[in-house]
Amino acid sequence: MGDPAASVSPAGTAAPLLAVDRLEGWYGESHVLHGMAFDVREGEVVTLLGRNGAGKTTTLKAIVGMLEKRRGSVVFEGVETIGLPSRKIARRGLGYVPEERGVFASLNVYENLMLPPVVRPGGMSLEAIYQLFPNLKERSTSQGTKLSGGEQQMLAIARILRTGAKLILLDEPTEGLAPVIVQQIGETIRRLKADGYTIVLVEQNFRFAQTVADRHVVIELGRVVDEIPNEALEANLEKLHAYLGV
Amino acid sequence: MSVTAEPAVMTETAETQGSGPDAPIRPESRDAKRFHRYVMFAIAVALVLLPFGLYPIFVMKVLCFALFGLAFNLLLGYGGLLSFGHAAFFGVAGYVSAHAAKVWGLNPEFAILGGVAAAAALGLCIGALAIRRQGIYFAMITLALAQMVYFFSLQAKFTGGEDGIQGVPRGRLFGVIDLQDDRVLYVLVAVIFMAGLLMIYRIIHSPFGQVLKAIRDNEPRAVSLGYRVNRYKLAVFVLSAALAGLAGGTKAIVFQLASLTDVHWSMSGEVILITLVGGMGAIFGPIAGAFVIVAMESYLAPFGAWVTIIQGAVFVVCVLLFRDGVVGVLSRLLKRPL
Amino acid sequence: MTTLFGFPTQALFGQLLLGLINGSFYALLSLGLAIIFGLLNIINFAHGALYMAGAFVAWILLNHLGLGYWWSLLLAPVAVALFGVLIERTLLSRLYKLDHLYGLLLTFGLALIIQGMFRLQFGVSGLPYAVPAELAGGTRLPFMYLPTYRGWVVVASLAVCLTTWLLIEKTKLGAYLRAATENPALVQTFGVNVPLLLTVTYAFGVGLAALAGVLAAPIYTVSPMMGADIIIVVFAVVVIGGMGSIMGSIVTGFGLGLVEGLTKVFYPQGSTTVIFVIMAIVLLTKPAGLFGRSS
Ligand SMILES: Nc1ncnc2c1ncn2[C@@H]1O[C@H](COP(=O)(O)OP(=O)(O)OP(=O)(O)O)[C@@H](O)[C@H]1O
Ligand SMILES: [Mg+2]
């Protein structure tokens, strides 16, 4: 909080909703994040781009407090959260959709959906969620993991929308899904943005990211190496190809 | 205080004595081996000197339990398998040795070997069943099967039920040397102990022992390298049972008694305690552990239930604060594997 | 005297009932063990000792405070559950990041301490606990005499087991428990207080053990060693059933109690070991247990 860089956003407008600075992270002895730093303003959709193993997932885990050994600063709505346990971070209004989706096998779809407690007023109602994802209503009594990959992804997103979380961290929501489903997820994200949600999206597929994001943060070996506004993406294609090795 | 998913994905068997940074240093280098030779020599010298300072009968008891602990630790520290039923091998070997010496009139060496054979055979049966599961289940299965052996011992004729087999003759070693004198018997027990220790040391450092360590540290990888993991586990289980039998048979001859105490689950707990106090996975750990525990129990014996309470407290304290045990700590202080 | 398969029906049904009663205790205990293991990854060796403690609390309430059976049925589980909270908060919570085996060793030590304490205070010989007046007497059925208290024990534990099952499978709290059993770290990122859930679960599990202890008090004498042998049998029950399923634990517990009762009729010498033999057979044919998911 005392850090001037954290309190003034690059654009010079209001303080960012999320400010990550000097973030270090470890798995046991292995040092994975090396001073990550980026900001996310309210209402923005920001993607984290980077190769396999760059540290995107680890960054999200560090932000939500799942990564046990972490250091540096993560300021959410002006409050330092680096030392809080993950349940307290979540209670501040942060929702996390993990890469592996984390749908529970021993819960049915409805139970999965209702599992995360409401952390803030203003979350989506069950009706609104069913309207957005009609499949979930149809299959509400099926075992969570009996859903298709796309439906599981919907479920993982939907259950966070119920909680009233303001900032949503989405880890590769399109991974391994059919193009129709990817498109549907893209629409969902744009819809959420229109509703005022702030989203951090981890992606490897920058073509998809381009359709939803305002800004792209490029990560390499646990550091931010570049930031590209969405408008400038086409102009920076070559650079991006080099970063992503595609 | 945060909860992670880590424990759930941790390998169940490998972590017991920790592969993390504060795990006991393992003997790999030539330097370590030379150091171990010195330690062995020191132990041999101590074996010669001890009976001059302590009652031979006390030292013999310690040695029997130390050998029992070494056998148990072979399975836990190097096989990664926590048996909660080692009393079965210790106790049954005691019964067989006692029976062989008393009823069949065998020489003590054959009586003890008979006990070893019985323990090995029992180890083969129990081991074959128990290695079908890992970690916590392995512990529960060995405990349950050992309890079955206990009930069998309680009901069978030859064990003498509640009375046990009393008045077992120590006999004449090789038919010549009379073991009635404690000092003479002490020499035999010391030799058996030293032989057991050397054998375990050889096993750990043999190619077989290396494979065991590989399995303990990463079972899936050992499988993918083509090792028939279950055969190795069973082999180390049987070896451990046989050595526990050596300890149990010897104890029966020394104390001229085989009783239900030695097959009871509390005896399985005791050998775990000995190993825990001494240092799980430290080669010489159980020797120190046996000294501490046997001495403690001798002093506390008059206080009845307090023995159990203090044993329990030692368990709790060791698990919470002192996981490397006496020898583990010593080993870290000396910066040398022990 | 009527007979069935050449055995007097009186004896047969009497033993079956006794088996069912043992089965009630196996079910209550293995249920608690399974819930605790699912969430905490700890095999609670102290379970038997806490079952014994439940019986003793009932005895103490009666003999020192004049509180009868029905009060004990409520207060003993609560008292033991509170003790469980203490154990979990001060001891077990330090072990979650270590290998599961440390939990086994620590709770084994706890079992020794608890048993030793009660032995010190009450000696080894058992203390009697009378059947409550409301449940004294019995009914003469066409095929056997049914002591009311024994019938009550079976019905009560069955009811408790099924309630627990409903609680876990059908309620929100149960959903938290199931989810946290699968992935505690993720549940925690939803804002759920998982450490609290762990404490509550442990307390609930040992509360069930204490309840079994109170139910057992009028049937067996109350003695410090009453939990030591039963816990080993319950471990075998848990290996046979596999700890994956709540209903599995209940069914296995009652089923094995019955089998044990039958063995007492047909081959009395085998009654102490039959469960271990079944465990061996299950390990040979279905190592993950009857209701277990193979790992
Ligand atoms: N549980 C773990 N233990 C140890 N190292 C890990 C663990 N998870 C990830 N790593 C390592 O940390 C680094 C960063 O991993 P991370 O999962 O954050 O990458 P990522 O950018 O999300 O990659 P991907 O695109 O494949 O999801 C990698 O080198 C990875 O091998
Ligand atoms: Mg990732």
Q: What average pLDDT does this structure show over B129-136?
A: 89
Backbone angles phi, psi at B204, to 5 degrees: -60, -35
pLDDT digits (tens, 9 = 90+) for C161-196: 999 999 999 999 999 999 999 999 999 999 999 999
Judge whether residue A69 has pLDDT over 70: yes
Structure confidence at residue C293 (pLDDT)? 65
Pocket test for ligand 1, best of A30, A49, A218 (most atoms within 8 A of CB): A30
Specify which residues A20 forms β-bridges with: A38, A74
Q: Which domain holds residue C176?
A: 19-131+146-257
Judge whether residue B244 has pLDDT over 70: yes
Judge whether residue C294 has pLDDT over 60: no
Q: Whose CA is nearest to atom 12 of ligand 1?
A: A32
From the CA of A51, give the closest atom in ligand 1.
25
**pLDDT band at residue A13 under the 50/70/90 scheme:** low
* CA C168 vs CA A43, B59, C251: distances in Å: 39, 55, 16
Which chain B residues contact residue C264 at CB under 8 A? none
Which chain C residues contact residue B306 at CB under 8 A? 116, 120
Let me know if residue C49 belongs to a domain: yes
Structure confidence at residue B21 (pLDDT)? 35
Mutate one of A60, A109, A115 to test the C interface: name it (highest C CB count within 10 A): A115
Q: What average pLDDT does this structure show over C193-203?
A: 95
Let me know if residue B206 belongs to a domain: yes
C-beta of A16 in contact with ligand 1 (< 6 A): no
Structure confidence at residue C113 (pLDDT)? 96
Lowest mean pLDDT among B282-291, B308-317, C128-137: C128-137
Gap from C161 CA to chain A (nearest CA, Å): 19
Judge whether residue B24 has pLDDT over 60: no
DSSP letter (8 states) at residue A78: T
d(CA A15, CA B30): 62
In this complex, which of C96, C100, C228 lies closest to B3 when CB atoms are compared? C96
From the CA of A172, give the closest atom in ligand 1.
27
DSSP letter (8 states) at residue A120: S
| Closest residue by Cα to residue C168 from A107, A147, A144 | A107
C-beta of A30 in contact with ligand 1 (< 6 A): yes
Number of domains making up chain A:
1
Per DSSP, the residues of A2-45 read: --HHHHS-TTSSSPPSEEEEEEEEEETTEEEEEEEEEEE-TT-E
C-beta of A61 in contact with ligand 1 (< 6 A): no
Number of domains making up chain B:
1
Q: Which domain holds residue B105?
A: 7-264
Mean pLDDT estimate for chain C: 91
Chains in touch with A (≥3 Cβ pairs < 8 A):
B, C
In the reported structure, the alpha carbon of residue A32 is separated from the centroid of ligand 1 by a whole-number distance in angstroms of 8
Judge whether residue B23 has pLDDT over 80: no
Let me know if residue B337 belongs to a domain: no
Structure confidence at residue A95 (pLDDT)? 94
Asked if residues B82 and B237 have their Cβ atoms less than 8 Å apart, the reply is no
**pLDDT band at residue B4 under the 50/70/90 scheme:** very low
Let me know if residue B270 belongs to a domain: no
Judge whether residue A5 has pLDDT over 50: no
Judge whether residue B2 has pLDDT over 60: no
Chain C nearest-CA residue for A98 = C186
Let me know if residue B37 belongs to a domain: yes
Q: What average pLDDT does this structure show over C18-47?
A: 93
Lowest mean pLDDT among A4-13, A188-197, C17-26: A4-13
pLDDT digits (tens, 9 = 90+) for B258-307: 999 999 999 999 999 999 999 887 889 999 999 999 999 888 888 888 99
Let me know if residue C66 belongs to a domain: yes
Angle in degrees, CA C129, C135, C139, rounded to 5: 125
- Taking the CA atoms of B251, B254, B255 and B259 in sequence, report the sign of the dihedral they define: positive
In this complex, which of C94, C105, C239 lies closest to B144 when CB atoms are compared? C239
Lowest mean pLDDT among B39-48, C61-70, C205-214: B39-48
From the CA of A61, give the closest atom in ligand 1.
18
C-beta of A198 in contact with ligand 1 (< 6 A): no
Using the Cβ of A89 and the Cβ atoms of chain C, whether some distance falls under 8 Å is answered with yes
Structure confidence at residue B61 (pLDDT)? 93
Q: Whose CA is nearest to atom 24 of ligand 1?
A: A52
Structure confidence at residue B11 (pLDDT)? 32
Let me know if residue B53 belongs to a domain: yes
* Terminal Cα distance for chain B, rounded: 34
Chain C nearest-CA residue for A113 = C175
Q: What average pLDDT does this structure show over C221-240?
A: 91
**pLDDT band at residue B12 under the 50/70/90 scheme:** very low
Let me know if residue C239 belongs to a domain: yes
d(CA B163, CA B61): 21
In this complex, which of B3, B316, B323 lies closest to C184 when CB atoms are compared? B3
Judge whether residue B5 has pLDDT over 50: no
Q: What average pLDDT does this structure show over C23-32?
A: 95
Contacts of C128 (CB under 8 A, 6+ apart): C221, C222
Please count the other Cβ atoms lying within 10 Å of the Cβ belonging to residue B173. 17
- Segments of chain C assigned E as strands: 3-4, 7-8, 138-140, 145-147
Chain C nearest-CA residue for B126 = C280
Let me know if residue C36 belongs to a domain: yes
From the CA of A204, give the closest atom in ligand 1.
25
From the CA of A99, give the closest atom in ligand 1.
27
Let me know if residue C275 belongs to a domain: no
In the reported structure, the alpha carbon of residue A55 is separated from the centroid of ligand 1 by a whole-number distance in angstroms of 6
CA quadruple A175, A180, A183, A184: dihedral, nearest 10: -100
pLDDT digits (tens, 9 = 90+) for A175-201: 889 999 999 999 999 999 998 999 999
pTM for the model stands at: 0.89
Q: Which residue has the higher pLDDT, C187 or C12?
A: C187
Please count the other Cβ atoms lying within 10 Å of the Cβ belonging to residue B226. 7
Which chain A residues contact residue C183 at CB under 8 A? 102, 104
Determine the 3-state secondary structure of C182 from DSSP: helix
User: Cβ contact (<8 Å) for B1 and A85?
Assistant: yes
- ipTM score: 0.90
Judge whether residue B173 has pLDDT over 80: no
Q: Which domain holds residue A42?
A: 4-244
In the reported structure, the alpha carbon of residue A57 is separated from the centroid of ligand 2 by a whole-number distance in angstroms of 4
d(CA A138, CA C19): 46
In this complex, which of A64, A89, A104 lies closest to C179 when CB atoms are compared? A104
Let me know if residue C165 belongs to a domain: yes
* Domain CATH for A224: 3.40.50.300
Which chain A residues contact residue B21 at CB under 8 A? 29
d(CA B5, CA C194): 11
Lowest mean pLDDT among A24-33, A162-171, B102-111, B179-188: B179-188
Let me know if residue C2 belongs to a domain: no
Let me know if residue C211 belongs to a domain: yes
CB pairs under 8 A between A and B: 9
In the reported structure, the alpha carbon of residue A53 is separated from the centroid of ligand 1 by a whole-number distance in angstroms of 5
Furthest C-alpha separation in chain C: 67
Q: What average pLDDT does this structure show over C88-115?
A: 93
Structure tokens at B297: 């129990």
